[in-house]
């Protein structure tokens, strides 16, 4: 049985827990919006047409900031299509996902949905095919109180109070040749700088996110960030990171170590941003918005015929059904984001409903939790105060994709009267016996110890078996003389709450 020892001290502070770390993402893609969030004919729908069974699950998930409306979708989006009387809104082709967009849910409706879930809006603007003036128009419509043409239009459309959107994304994945209107780093950096400067002329307190690389495997990775930030550094506050992971060719060991790649990604982007800052003699620090991350079986999606030229409304696309192993990886990726809270101050799990999502729905039927729902919801609920850096002694193993990785990974948070420890065991076959010295936390009892694991690492929750996989109380957890002992099953994620 592998053994690990962890020491925790409340003085080893990395950074505060950032509530925006627990953000998510809603794109007009597949069934995320239509029959996901919005289904007027559903028995649970409210007067706006939103599914209240989904609202309840989103609140349980604990998502905080929702990035909207894309994603690749935003690069062909005319925001004006999505406001005003619904019967007058145009139907458009979405080139990103080869589907039809009815525009029945737009900015004002989505903002009202956000109030149901106590979430903050993070709005993306189309700089790919539109540019500066439409971005300024959207800013005026969304945020100006009244007394101008566009703010008065919002009022006339039934939203008297401004949306007061604070975070804005300047496009999406502009380095990707799949992106409508993609650009070179030089072209995008210049456009992003001009757009950001103009938006901050309207409101100097906006928080603006410039597009970083679409993934660490992009051929321009690193150089893209440097070039873009050399243009836009003085005008923006965040650079984005996007990363998706999946198991390749049955290599579960490498897949379980995916968080080591995310850590490398963050390290590289932070170093590049700081390099540009030093060159500019700037005291400002650019933070990371990791505003797309998840497990996504992209290889299988690319081999399918989901995206085609049939131009359908809300087709079933990217509806991955997640396993226990997928959930362990998602939990571990979230742990890594917490560890990097000194520079990763916003993040978005992509996406929220049906499309590579923790929540699934059936039209006219139920909504249920995927396996990945649980580590996110539990971490969002338990993590508070400050993130602390653990001292860990654990065996390592060799992976084909990520080199050496620890069998046991851990992060902890501590608040005035409570603490939480999050752990994964990446061993494929054996439980890990772990001891955790918590004397430095001043904790006196275990409030709960919850584990997500299964004898079948590929077990899933489906429409037919919605509760096949659920977290369970880890009864091996004990706290004696300031030391926790706990057994972590193979391929597992665990949370311990302390008081």
Residues 256 and 325: beta-carbon distance below 8 Å: yes
The model's confidence at residue 366, banded by pLDDT at 50, 70 and 90, is: very high
d(CA 462, CA 84): 38
- pLDDT at 309 > cutoff 80: no
d(CA 229, CA 355): 31
pLDDT for 303 equals 85
Average of per-residue pLDDT across 209-220? 96
Q: How many helices (H) and strands (E) does the chain have?
A: 11, 27
Select from 382, 417, 446 the last residue of a domain.
382
d(CA 373, CA 59): 12
Select from 344, 362, 382 the last residue of a domain.
382
- Which stretch of DSSP H or E encloses residue 59? helix 52-61
pLDDT for 429 equals 97
Of residues 101, 120, 140, 292, which has the active-site annotation? 292
CA angle (460 as vertex; 1, 375 as ends), nearest 5: 65
Global confidence as pTM: 0.97
284 and 422, same domain (yes or no): no
d(CA 107, CA 130): 18
pLDDT for 159 equals 97
Helix spans in 72-163 (H): 107-117, 132-143, 149-156
Q: What number of CA atoms fall less than 13 Å from residue 147's CA on the CB side?
A: 2
Q: What number of CA atoms fall less than 13 Å from residue 448's CA on the CB side?
A: 11
- pLDDT at 73 > cutoff 90: yes
188 and 241, same domain (yes or no): yes
Average of per-residue pLDDT across 310-318? 94
- pLDDT at 94 > cutoff 90: yes
Average of per-residue pLDDT across 124-149? 97
pLDDT for 283 equals 94
393 and 378, same domain (yes or no): no
Of residues 173, 225, 247, 386, which has the active-site annotation? 173
Token couple for 394: 């654990």
User: 144-174 pLDDT, tens per residue?
Assistant: 999 999 999 999 999 999 999 999 999 999 9
- pLDDT at 139 > cutoff 80: yes
Average of per-residue pLDDT across 89-93? 97
SS3 percent helix, strand, coil of the chain, rounded to 5, is: 30, 30, 45
312 and 434, same domain (yes or no): no
The model's confidence at residue 299, banded by pLDDT at 50, 70 and 90, is: confident
What is the count of structural domains for the chain?
2
d(CA 203, CA 142): 12
- Those residues with Cβ within 8 angstroms of residue 432's Cβ, 6 or more apart along the chain or in another chain: 1, 2, 3, 4, 394, 407, 408, 425, 487, 488, 490
- pLDDT at 307 > cutoff 80: no
Average of per-residue pLDDT across 37-57? 98
197 and 92, same domain (yes or no): yes
Domain CATH for 441: 2.60.40.1180
Token couple for 96: 């990103």
d(CA 229, CA 451): 42
pLDDT for 487 equals 98
User: 458-481 pLDDT, tens per residue?
Assistant: 999 999 999 999 999 999 999 999
Select from 364, 382, 400 the last residue of a domain.
382
248 and 347, same domain (yes or no): yes
The model's confidence at residue 1, banded by pLDDT at 50, 70 and 90, is: confident
232 and 181, same domain (yes or no): yes
pLDDT for 420 equals 98
pLDDT for 475 equals 98
DSSP letters spanning 260-321 = HHHHHHHHHHHHHHHHHHHHTT----PEEEEEEEEE--HHHHHHSSSS-SS-EES---S---
- pLDDT at 221 > cutoff 90: yes
Residues 491 and 247: beta-carbon distance below 8 Å: no
Residues 387 and 13: beta-carbon distance below 8 Å: yes
| DSSP letter (8 states) at residue 50 | B
289 and 436, same domain (yes or no): no
pLDDT for 294 equals 98
- Those residues with Cβ within 8 angstroms of residue 276's Cβ, 6 or more apart along the chain or in another chain: 226, 229, 230, 233, 286
In Å, how far are 38, 50, 128, 325, 338 from 329, measured between CA atoms? 29, 31, 33, 6, 14
Rg of the chain over CA atoms, in angstroms?
22
212 and 354, same domain (yes or no): yes
- pLDDT at 245 > cutoff 90: yes
Average of per-residue pLDDT across 384-410? 97
Residues 216 and 261: beta-carbon distance below 8 Å: yes
pLDDT for 56 equals 98
Query: What average pLDDT is seen over the chain?
Result: 97
299 and 446, same domain (yes or no): no
pLDDT for 442 equals 86
Average of per-residue pLDDT across 137-146? 98
In Å, how far are 28, 30, 32, 102, 400 from 105, measured between CA atoms? 9, 14, 11, 8, 45
pLDDT for 268 equals 97
Concerning whether 207 is annotated as a catalytic residue, the answer is no
Query: Which structural domain, as residue segments, surrounds residue 429?
Result: 3-9+388-498
pLDDT for 306 equals 82
Domain CATH for 305: 3.20.20.80
CA angle (287 as vertex; 281, 289 as ends), nearest 5: 150
d(CA 496, CA 264): 27
pLDDT for 444 equals 83
222 and 121, same domain (yes or no): yes
Q: If we measure between CA atoms, which residue out of 105, 211, 223, 130 comes closest to residue 168?
A: 211
The model's confidence at residue 88, banded by pLDDT at 50, 70 and 90, is: very high
341 and 403, same domain (yes or no): no
User: 341-356 pLDDT, tens per residue?
Assistant: 999 999 999 999 999 9
Concerning whether 60 is annotated as a catalytic residue, the answer is no
End-to-end CA distance of the chain: 29
Residues 414 and 12: beta-carbon distance below 8 Å: no
pLDDT for 499 equals 93
């Amino acid at each position: 049985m592998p053994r690990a020892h962890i020491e925790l001290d409340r003085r080893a502070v990395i950074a505060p827990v950032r509530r925006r770390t627990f953000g998510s993402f809603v794109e007009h893609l597949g069934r995320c919006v239509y029959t996901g969030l919005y289904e007027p004919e559903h028995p649970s729908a409210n007067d706006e047409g939103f599914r209240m069974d989904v609202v309840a699950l989103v609140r349980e998930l604990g998502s905080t900031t929702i990035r909207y409306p894309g994603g690749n979708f935003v690069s062909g989006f005319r925001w004006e299509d999505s406001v005003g009387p619904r019967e007058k809104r145009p139907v458009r082709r979405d080139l990103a996902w080869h589907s039809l967009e009815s525009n029945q849910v737009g900015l004002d409706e989505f903002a009202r949905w956000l109030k149901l879930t106590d979430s903050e809006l993070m709005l993306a603007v189309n700089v790919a095919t539109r540019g500066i003036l439409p971005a300024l128009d959207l800013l005026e419509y969304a945020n100006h109180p009244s007394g101008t043409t566009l703010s008065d239009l919002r009022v006339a459309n039934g939203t008297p109070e401004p949306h007061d959107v604070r975070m804005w994304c300047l496009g999406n994945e502009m380095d990707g040749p799949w992106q409508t209107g993609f650009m070179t780093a030089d072209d995008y950096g210049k456009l992003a700088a001009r757009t950001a400067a103009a938006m901050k002329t309207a409101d100097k307190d906006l928080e603006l996110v410039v597009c970083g690389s679409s993934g660490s495997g992009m051929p321009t990775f690193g150089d893209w960030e440097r070039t873009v930030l050399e243009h836009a550094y003085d005008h923006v506050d965040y650079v984005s990171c996007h990363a998706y992971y999946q198991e390749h060719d049955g290599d579960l060991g490498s897949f379980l170590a995916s968080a080591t790649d995310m850590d490398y990604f963050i390290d590289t982007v932070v170093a590049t941003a700081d390099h540009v800052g030093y060159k500019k003699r700037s005291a400002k620090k650019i933070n990371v918005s990791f505003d797309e991350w998840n497990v996504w079986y992209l290889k299988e999606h690319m081999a399918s015929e989901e995206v085609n030229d049939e131009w359908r409304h809300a087709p079933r696309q990217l509806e991955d059904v997640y396993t226990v192993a997928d959930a362990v990886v998602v939990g571990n990726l979230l742990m890594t984001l917490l560890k990097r809270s000194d520079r990763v101050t916003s993040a978005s799990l992509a996406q929220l409903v049906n499309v590579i999502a923790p929540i699934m729905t059936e039209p006219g039927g139920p909504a249920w939790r995927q396996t990945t729902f649980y580590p996110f919801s539990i971490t969002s609920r338990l993590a508070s105060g400050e993130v602390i850096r653990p001292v860990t002694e654990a065996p390592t193993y060799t992976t084909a994709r990520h080199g050496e990785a620890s069998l046991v990974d851990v992060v902890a948070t501590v608040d005035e009267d409570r603490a939480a420890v999050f752990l994964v065991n990446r061993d494929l076959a054996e439980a890990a016996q772990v001891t955790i010295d918590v004397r430095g936390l001043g904790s006196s009892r275990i409030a709960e110890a919850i584990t997500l694991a299964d004898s079948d690492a590929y077990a899933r929750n489906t429409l037919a078996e919605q509760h096949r996989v659920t977290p369970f109380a880890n009864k091996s957890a004990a706290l004696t003389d300031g030391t926790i002992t706990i057994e972590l099953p193979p391929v597992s994620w665990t949370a311990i709450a302390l008081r």
